[in-house]
Amino acid sequence: MPSFSNWGRFQIHLFFQSTVAATGATAAAARWMSQSTSLPRKLQRVRDHAFDDLMEVQKKVRRALGLQELILSHPGAALPVSRLDALARRHLGLPPNDAGRFLLRHPHVFHVFDHPVQRVLWTRLTPRAAAQLRVESAAISAALPAAVLRLRKLLLLATPARRLRLEHLRLARRDLGFPDDFEQSVVLAHPSFFRLVSPSDDPRSKFVEYVEVPDLPADLTVCAIERAREREYRARGADAEDARFAFVINFPPGFKIGKYYRIAVWKWQRLPYWSPYEDVSGYDLRSLEAQRRMEKRAVAMIHELLSLTVEKRMTLERIAQFRQAMGLPKKLKEFLLQHQGIFYISTRGNQGKLHTIFLREEYRKGELVEPNEIYLARKKLAELLLMSPKKANFDRMLTSLGRVGDGFGVGGGVSREFFGDQDGGESEDEGSRSGSDSGVESQFVE
């Protein structure tokens, strides 16, 4: 048995160790608590199958749009399948013979037929696909005033310069619902709102600038999230005070929400921030509080950018083009992963090389909550691509084989059959010849 002095020293040693351990545990707990009050920088992406399944359909849509553009760029809106396959390899990066297989798998969109003179396979769009293009073009033309308003809001987001590169707008014109000739029909047609300029140091590049007007509309600088908060105020009354700076958050299925993460989100939702339309160039942004507000402002900026798109989604690469003009963070993907309850990043559609950002609150079960005419018109193409080729009406197909070359000629015949009667007044014989009421408009069905 140890002596009293040794036993006393032994007890003091145990007390010192226990004190150090308790102090270390308290410090570790304090560090964990302090870290939990801010959103984690790196979060693992949780998949949402509703958005991923939608992108699997959009993969077919993108390929169909690329092939449609190649077909329509050819005189007569028709060309040999071999020629289309070569163009698809060059411009779309498709493997050899992949374009031909895609045509055969989707006979409701592409009509493959035997040329009456050359005796080789040609292709063109079916009457249904041509009608879908006409409906989409009409919807974009009807929404031209909305496109003008959308471009004005985009330029206001690019503070303080309030200008965007024309090439970046051209690449994102489909997402923003702009017509192909938006430089003429939107920018140059409204000189009181927009100005097209070229900098002196780079005369080849063009920028679209915002033109100041004396009477600025009140709703021009109102964000979409602010309108959602207003609806929340009207529905809940005084109980909606906690939604003053909050965003609509819907975490994906399977997302694990711990206690401390829930506290961090609760504090982040109540953090004030500056509006995306507000010029913050004159503010002192060196404090930690100002940096946190700027981070939340970046979330609001991306939220507003996605709200201005037609389908409430945009690829990460397109958003990155506006990063410098809108003051967005450099590491956009990691930044968006911090807010998986607001945005969803889908990597489906191009072997993980394409990242599509969705605004979660605008979708329910893979569909837009408030669809617009352009979205509904584009949805018809996806419906045609999803139709099974096994539903082909072979009797109708066989009876139409001899009529394929009736209207075929250089120039006029194919264009008339492709575009049809613009007023929708086809006679019964013309409608029978074009096969507009046929279940499938292709000779070759897998």
pLDDT at 238: 64
Query: Residue 191 falls within a domain, yes or no?
Result: yes
pLDDT at 392: 52
User: Do 176 and 123 fall into the same domain?
Assistant: no
C-beta separation of 205 from 197 below 8 A: no
- Tokens 């900098």 label which residue? 199
User: Do 170 and 232 fall into the same domain?
Assistant: no
User: Do 262 and 334 fall into the same domain?
Assistant: yes
pLDDT at 38: 66
* pTM of the predicted model as reported, rounded to 2 decimal places: 0.80
pLDDT at 441: 46
Q: Which residues have a Cβ under 8 Å from the Cβ of 414 and sit 6 or more positions away?
A: 76, 77, 78, 124, 407, 408
Q: Of 217, 232, 264, which residue constitutes the final position of a domain?
A: 217
Query: Residue 207 falls within a domain, yes or no?
Result: yes
pLDDT at 372: 94
Query: Residue 52 falls within a domain, yes or no?
Result: no
CA angle 195, 372, 196 (to 5 degrees): 5
User: Do 233 and 348 fall into the same domain?
Assistant: yes
How many domains is the chain partitioned into structurally?
3
User: Do 102 and 195 fall into the same domain?
Assistant: no
User: Do 209 and 226 fall into the same domain?
Assistant: no
What beta strand segments (E) does 276-342 contain? 313-315
User: Do 203 and 158 fall into the same domain?
Assistant: yes
User: Do 361 and 298 fall into the same domain?
Assistant: yes
Q: Of 201, 217, 233, which residue constitutes the final position of a domain?
A: 217
Residue 269 CA from chain centroid, whole number: 25
- Tokens 């066989």 label which residue? 398
State whether residue 327 is helix, strand or coil.
coil
Nearest 10 degrees: CA dihedral of 363, 365, 370, 375? 90
DSSP class of 17: H
User: Do 207 and 226 fall into the same domain?
Assistant: no
pLDDT at 261: 86
Q: Residue 105 and residue 103: Cα distance in Å, rounded? A: 6
User: What are the pLDDT tens digits along the chain (446 aa)?
Assistant: 444 455 455 444 444 444 444 444 333 333 333 344 467 777 778 889 999 999 999 999 999 999 999 999 998 899 999 999 999 999 998 999 999 999 999 999 999 988 888 889 999 999 999 999 999 999 999 999 999 999 999 999 998 889 999 999 999 999 999 999 999 999 999 999 999 998 877 778 899 999 988 877 778 999 999 998 888 888 877 667 778 899 999 998 888 888 888 899 999 999 999 999 999 988 888 899 999 999 999 999 999 999 999 999 999 999 999 999 999 999 999 999 999 999 999 988 766 678 999 999 999 988 999 999 999 999 999 999 998 777 655 434 543 544 443 333 333 333 333 333 334 333 333 333 344 333 344 444 43
Q: Residue 112 and residue 134: Cα distance in Å, rounded? A: 21
Q: Of 371, 401, 419, which residue constitutes the final position of a domain?
A: 371
User: Do 352 and 296 fall into the same domain?
Assistant: yes
Query: Residue 162 falls within a domain, yes or no?
Result: yes
pLDDT at 224: 93
User: Do 234 and 365 fall into the same domain?
Assistant: yes
pLDDT at 422: 38
pLDDT digits 0-9 by tens, 115-151 = 888 889 999 999 999 999 999 999 999 999 999 999 9
Bridge-partner residues for 111, per DSSP? Answer: 124
Q: Which residues have a Cβ under 8 Å from the Cβ of 295 and sit 6 or more positions away?
A: 329
Query: Residue 35 falls within a domain, yes or no?
Result: no
Closest C-alpha to 249, from 223, 268, 276: 268
User: Do 192 and 262 fall into the same domain?
Assistant: no
Query: Residue 254 falls within a domain, yes or no?
Result: yes
Q: Residue 175 and residue 314: Cα distance in Å, rounded? A: 7
Domain of 105 in residue numbering reads as 74-135+386-434
Closest C-alpha to 246, from 271, 277, 283: 271
pLDDT at 332: 92
C-beta separation of 219 from 294 below 8 A: no
Q: For residue 109, give both structure tokens.
A: 């969109």
pLDDT at 3: 46
Q: Residue 316 and residue 340: Cα distance in Å, rounded? A: 14
Query: Residue 30 falls within a domain, yes or no?
Result: no
Query: Residue 69 falls within a domain, yes or no?
Result: no
